[in-house]
Structure 1
Amino acid sequence: MRKDVAFVLVLLIAVAVGIYIFTQTPAVNVEKVRAYADPITEKILVAMNEGNYTKFSENMDASMKRAMPEPVFQQTVALIKSKIGNYTSKDFSRVELQGNFTVVYYRAKYTDEAEVTVKVVFVEEEGRYYVSGLWFDSPKLRS
């Protein structure tokens, strides 16, 4: 009887450890992600200040370019500038893996809004990193 209880306990512990290991998200090499994400994000935010679509779209994947052609870019920039002003700086917040995508969050400052969340989604294609999604959130943008 004691052997059966011990076996069941060992089996339960092994199952629990296995479940824990398989449910953990893979470790993210934050330094590696920031090495490409920080400069690309900076270029995008500065390009929006400048209204420079060529610079803005340089690191976009095909789906992002389809979703944000130049006329939509110009409308988006006008809306952002009217509500929160120009981009001034950013601080890294966190990074997450979501399937094949790497999602990087920044706390950005704009001339008319002290804290804007910038979410940039990256995808790797043939060894290069491209922006596949871009979102902005702040109280003024939601109003």
Structure 2
Amino acid sequence: MGTLRRHVDRFGLADGGRLFRSGKGNVVAASTYSRVWKAARELALTPMQVASPLAARPYDLRHAAVSLWLNCGVPATDVAARAGHHVGVLLKVYAKRIDGQEATVNQRIEDALGRVNSPWTATNGGSGWHSAAQVDRSTRKRIRWSDDVFSDL
């Protein structure tokens, strides 16, 4: 937000509250955005990235920002408010983009439930909960769910 505030302090806003305007104060033409975006990509990205669909349009940055916020653990309600979405829409569109959080989420649940000293442990990959005695620690193999997993219950 600081960068945005500095920009507005320096350049002001165009009529109607627009952030950007042409040199004559008019609406910036779509062709201008496209030309500037293409040049910015060529300066910022590697040739291989430029040839890819990575950040092909300025709008792609919105998706990147929302995905980043979700992956950083920002609550969905806050992300939705910042992005101008309803939470349901946000989760429908972006839930598949939330990645690499399984261990963190499992730890949060464990901490919240107060089972830190539990005799049960999650196997690698999060396929399920198993007795610590059932985990083959020498080979670190995952135990698959079977009826005998529940025999100790």
Larger Rg: 2
Query: Of Structure 1 and Structure 2, which has the larger fraction of its residues in strand?
Result: 1
TM-score, normalised to structure 2, is: 0.18
Q: Under a length normalisation based on structure 1, what TM-score does the superposition of the two structures give?
A: 0.19
